[in-house]
Amino acid sequence: MQTHYVETKIMDIKTLHNKALDGSPLTLQEGVFLYTNSTAQELFSLANRIRFKLNPAQKVSWQIDRNVNYTNICISGCLFCNFHCTISQSDKGYTATKDEYREKIAELRMMGGDQILLQGGLHPNYDITFYEQLFTDIKSIDPELKLNALGPPEVAHIARISKISIEETLRRLIAAGLTSLPGAGAEILSDRVRKVLSPAKPNSAKWVEVMKCAHRLGLGSTATMVYGHIETLEERIGHLVTIREIQDCKPKEAPGFRAFICWPMQTEDTKLAQMFSITPLSAVEHLKMVAISRIMLNNIPHIQASWLTIGPELGKIALHCGADDMGSIMIEENVVSSAGADYRRNKEEMQKMITDAGFEPWLRNQDYSPR
Ligand code: SF4
């Protein structure tokens, strides 16, 4: 990771701890200073105290949902992605069929899940009518199913090729059945980074614009960050500040970001790994990112432990570093697993992970209410 010099006046760690504990937002400089000048144990302890102020019970939530990748055809060509292909690679490209959705939804229901995480690529030809039909078809199979679908880059792409506004795109997707917008495709909200990793993907300002619009329309969402590649520490903390500012703009009654999830980029066999020398992050560095996320994001209620990419053992420790949610058992994940992370757990194992970490598991809905 590159390091950039951030001008800091002499700051007092204790004052920053008290400010964060009071629920006040730390500035970019304060966040960088705290991250750089605190011991790992100090960060974990502070994040854990904030976690218990926001979510006092000795409980950790989890969810059952299923990932469905509706297509792998994508024009974005992100350097870290082994999942996508171009439309001309006819032997590799696919679009899921209605029969496949029927089968996957039946399997999800058998396992007790009620939500699908629907993600794909930036398909060159699929406009808003494709997604309206897709959501309508899925709802005709299971009207009660929750659709946590797409992400800001896909929404911006659909709007562009449909020649309609982002607001109209979101309104039509909501009318067709969209119930929540995942925070996918954020990686690091810095155009310096995005121009290298994903030059064809909508830029940071578009990501922010789509999320703000979704929040105005009352759509709940999550925020994400994928780090550990070519970004600086300042860009990571700056990303957190941007997420917090988006949340500050949401209407009072709107759910906005319900949770934040960060994970280290998986780069095995990717173009990114061929082009750059990327040193894998240490476990402590990941846990410090969970902790600083909890500390910086004073207006986001939940932090997920991302066990799917970091593994169950580290996931359990993250529950003592600011995280209060274990995410989903995630039936069928294809994107990060195709770049090196392949952890799976069933319902019993998920609950055992949480109890082994010293917490009581509780099964939640998409909106973090108990099921
Ligand atoms: S990460 Fe998503 S947007 Fe990027 S190439 Fe892969 S499928 Fe396309």
**Angle (CA) 208 155 125, round 5°:** 145
H or E segment to which residue 40 belongs: helix 40-54
Q: Which residue has the higher pLDDT, 243 or 281?
A: 243
For residue 3, tell me if it sits in a domain: no
Of 164, 162, 244, 152, nearest to 194 by C-alpha is 152
Of 172, 308, 217, 239, nearest to 32 by C-alpha is 239
Question: Taking a C-beta distance cutoff of 8 angstroms, is the pair 244, 25 a contact?
Answer: yes
Indicate the top mutation candidate among 82, 87, 119, 122 to test ligand 1's pocket, ranked by most ligand atoms within 8 A of CB. 122
Residue 89's pLDDT band (boundaries 50, 70, 90)?
Answer: confident
Q: Which residue's structure tokens are 């990327």?
A: 278
* DSSP type of residue 253: T
**What whole-number percentage of the chain has pLDDT above 70?**
93
Q: What mean pLDDT is predicted for residues 3-18? A: 70
Answer yes or no: is pLDDT of 269 > 90.
no
Answer yes or no: is pLDDT of 337 > 60.
no
Sheet holding 59-63, edge to edge: 325-328, 59-63, 360-363
How many CB atoms lie under 10 A from the CB of residue 29? 15
Shortest-distance atom of ligand 1 to CA 81: 6
Domain count, the chain: 1
Answer yes or no: is pLDDT of 33 > 60.
yes
Tokens encoding 291: 């902790």
* DSSP type of residue 217: T
Longest CA span, the chain: 62
Pocket of ligand 1 (CB under 6 A): 74, 76-78, 81, 83-84, 121-122, 153, 198, 201
For residue 369, tell me if it sits in a domain: no
How many CB atoms lie under 10 A from the CB of residue 168? 12
Domain range enclosing 197: 13-363
For residue 306, tell me if it sits in a domain: yes
For residues 115 and 367, give the distance between their C-alpha atoms in angstroms, rounded to a whole number.
11
Q: How far is the CA of 270 from the centre of ligand 1 (A)?
A: 12
For residue 6, tell me if it sits in a domain: no
* 3 state DSSP class of 355: helix
Cα–Cα distances in angstroms (integers) from residue 177 to residues 99, 131, 136, 145, 148, in the given order = 19, 10, 7, 9, 10
Q: How far is the CA of 70 from the centre of ligand 1 (A)?
A: 12
Shortest-distance atom of ligand 1 to CA 83: 6
So what's the pLDDT on residue 229?
Answer: 95
**HEC secondary structure over 99-135:** HHHHHHHHHHHHCCCCEEEEECCCCCCCCHHHHHHHH
Predicted confidence (pLDDT) per residue in 135-166, tens digit: 999 999 999 999 999 999 999 999 999 999 99
Question: Taking a C-beta distance cutoff of 8 angstroms, is the pair 289, 40 a contact?
Answer: no
Atom 2 of ligand 1: nearest residue by CA position: 121
The domain that holds 90 is classified in CATH as 3.20.20.70
For residues 101 and 308, give the distance between their C-alpha atoms in angstroms, rounded to a whole number.
23
Residue 131 identity (one-letter amino acid): Y
Find all residues with CB under 8 Å of 244, minimum gap 6, and list them. 25, 296, 297, 298, 299, 300
pTM for the predicted model, two decimal places: 0.93
For residue 355, tell me if it sits in a domain: yes
Cα–Cα distances in angstroms (integers) from residue 176 to residues 103, 170, 173, 304, in the given order = 21, 10, 5, 28
Atom 1 of ligand 1: nearest residue by CA position: 81
So what's the pLDDT on residue 342?
Answer: 54
* 3 state DSSP class of 226: strand
For residues 175 and 116, give the distance between their C-alpha atoms in angstroms, rounded to a whole number.
17
Answer yes or no: is pLDDT of 323 > 70.
yes
Q: What mean pLDDT is predicted for residues 286-310? A: 95
For residue 38, tell me if it sits in a domain: yes
Q: How far is the CA of 74 from the centre of ligand 1 (A)?
A: 6
So what's the pLDDT on residue 119?
Answer: 94
For residue 5, tell me if it sits in a domain: no
So what's the pLDDT on residue 334?
Answer: 54
For residue 1, tell me if it sits in a domain: no
Q: How far is the CA of 63 from the centre of ligand 1 (A)?
A: 25
**HEC secondary structure over 192-214:** HHHHHHCCCCCCHHHHHHHHHHH
Answer yes or no: is pLDDT of 4 > 80.
no
Answer yes or no: is pLDDT of 48 > 50.
yes
Q: Which residue's structure tokens are 């509780």?
A: 362
Environment class of residue 201 by beta-carbon count within 10 Å: exposed (0-12), middle (13-18) or buried (19+)?
buried
